Amino acid sequence: MPRKPDDVTDAELAVLQVLWNQGQASMRELSDELYPGGTKSHYATVKKLLTRLESKGCVQCDRSGSVFQFEATIEKKDLVSRRLRAVAESLCDGSLSHLLTQMVESKELTKKDRNALRSLIDELDTPKQGKKKR
């Protein structure tokens, strides 16, 4: 059974981080970025990680050229959202508000962070044109 994108391991996430930052990369470029001065076994590790990410639908490969180019097919914000929802399900009885409360209370927020949260809440509370507020 294929795993879902929210089952991304830390090693797979490192590959995705490089792809999100660079847009596209070859296997060699990924290997060099993740394992500077790496060995053949590091290259093999990156190859296996890319195979797993491709099977999960998180990465696609352009095989049309002599050097295969990989790019992420899942956006960072989508993966973050899926993983946070999974954490909320497993630790907070599915409550996103409980998860967010714990996150906010566990670390002191900067003024910039608080302002960004206020702006987001205000935006969510403002009805969109053509849509009625529920």
Q: What is the pLDDT of residues 33-92, one digit of tens each?
A: 999 998 899 999 999 999 999 999 999 999 998 999 999 999 999 999 888 888 899 999
Res 1 pLDDT > 50: no
pTM for the whole structure: 0.76
Task: Give long-range contacts, CB 8 A cutoff, 24+ apart: 65-74.
Answer: 67/26, 67/28, 68/26, 68/27, 69/24, 69/25, 69/26, 70/19, 70/24, 70/25, 70/26, 70/27, 70/30, 71/19, 71/23, 71/24, 71/25, 72/16, 72/19, 72/20, 74/5, 74/16
pLDDT at 102: 84
Res 133 pLDDT > 70: no
CATH domain 5-72 topology: Arc Repressor Mutant, subunit A (1.10.10)
pLDDT at 6: 57
pLDDT at 134: 46
Hey, where are the domains in the chain?
5-72
